[in-house]
A = this chain, B = another copy of it.
Amino acid sequence: MSITVRGRDLTQLIGTMSFTDYFVLLLMGRPPTDDERFFLDACLVAIAEHGLVPNVQAARMTLAADPDALQAAVAAGILGCGSVVLGTSELAGRMLDAAIARMRESGRDEAATAREIALEYRERRAPLPGFGHPLHKPLDPRAQRLLALADERGTAGPHVRMMRAFEAVVADVWGKPLTLNVSAAIPAVMLDVGFPLEALKGIPILARTASLLAHLREDGTQPLGFYLADHAAEAVNFV
């Protein structure tokens, strides 16, 4: 008796494939190339852990309310991975694809195209996806590391080049420096190694699940859930 997954014998995959490889196999029906694996691992590591961000707090509070239902706490944490927090990678990826298409059509270079598009965003007062960070200024070390790795491995292509072009013009267009953040770097490096745009959203969700599980295990021994809630409630002086 055998179990077949994506046309392969599951028994043969157990013990020969890493979890990262298997994720790509499930997602795309084929294992990753070496570059895809390298950058998928790099991106997952870059964004898994963020400290006590809101969705981690929501998860810890939920665990405090039912310590036996770990799945409920993880789900509460994942619900906090909404468009505002985690959808930016996909938005930035779409912006890159549109910019590259426009550049090719117009025959101009990255710099001119990026400036034109940045000005359009600026004019309609829309934020440029992947730019700006409350903490990491002037540089987001995770983003710079991902882009540097793309240069090192020789995988930097049109998407990384275009993202660098945006980075070069934003300070001028907005009149102040804006950090190229990790949500800009992820689509740039992943799209250049062939990862599909529509699968980008899955990267932060998988990464954060790993981090949530670690936080929730810690909460089992060192409960913060109700403490966090009490402290936050005091802050608004409610009741």
Bound-state Cα–Cα, A18 to B10, Å: 22
Q: Which of A82-108 contact B (CB under 8 A)?
A: 82-86
* A205 at the binding interface (Cβ < 8 Å): yes
**Besides the contacts A10-B141, A75-B79, what 18 more A-B pairs have beta carbons closer than 8 Å?**
A10-B45, A15-B45, A15-B146, A18-B41, A19-B41, A22-B44, A53-B229, A54-B64, A57-B57, A66-B84, A66-B85, A67-B84, A68-B83, A71-B80, A73-B79, A75-B75, A209-B209, A229-B232
Q: Given A51-B239, A145-B15, do A57 and B22 touch, yes or no (CB 8 Å)? A: no
The reply to whether A55 and B61 contact each other, CB–CB distance below 8 Å, is yes
The reply to whether A213 and B71 contact each other, CB–CB distance below 8 Å, is no
Q: 1/0 per position for A204-222, CB-CB distance to B under 8 A?
A: 0111011101101100100
Instruction: Looking at the assembled complex, report how far the CB atom of A208 sits from the nearest CB atom of chain B, in whole angstroms.
Output: 9
A positions within 8 Å CB-CB of B: 1-5, 10-11, 13-15, 17-20, 22-23, 26-27, 38, 40-42, 44-46, 48-49, 51-55, 57-58, 61-62, 64-76, 78-86, 136, 139, 141-142, 145-146, 149, 198-199, 201-202, 205-207, 209-211, 213-214, 216-217, 220, 224-229, 231-233, 235-236, 238-239
Instruction: Looking at the assembled complex, report how far the CB atom of A149 sits from the nearest CB atom of chain B, in whole angstroms.
Output: 5
Contacting residues, chain B, for A226 (C-beta < 8 A):
54
The reply to whether A79 and B64 contact each other, CB–CB distance below 8 Å, is no
Contacting residues, chain B, for A64 (C-beta < 8 A):
54, 84
Contacting residues, chain B, for A80 (C-beta < 8 A):
58, 61-62, 65, 71, 76
* Closest residue on chain B to residue A144 by CB atoms: B11
Contacting residues, chain B, for A57 (C-beta < 8 A):
57-58, 61, 229, 232-233
* Closest residue on chain B to residue A213 by CB atoms: B202
Instruction: Looking at the assembled complex, report how far the CB atom of A43 sits from the nearest CB atom of chain B, in whole angstroms.
Output: 8
Residue in A3, A11, A67, A80 whose Cβ sees the most chain B Cβ within 10 Å: A80
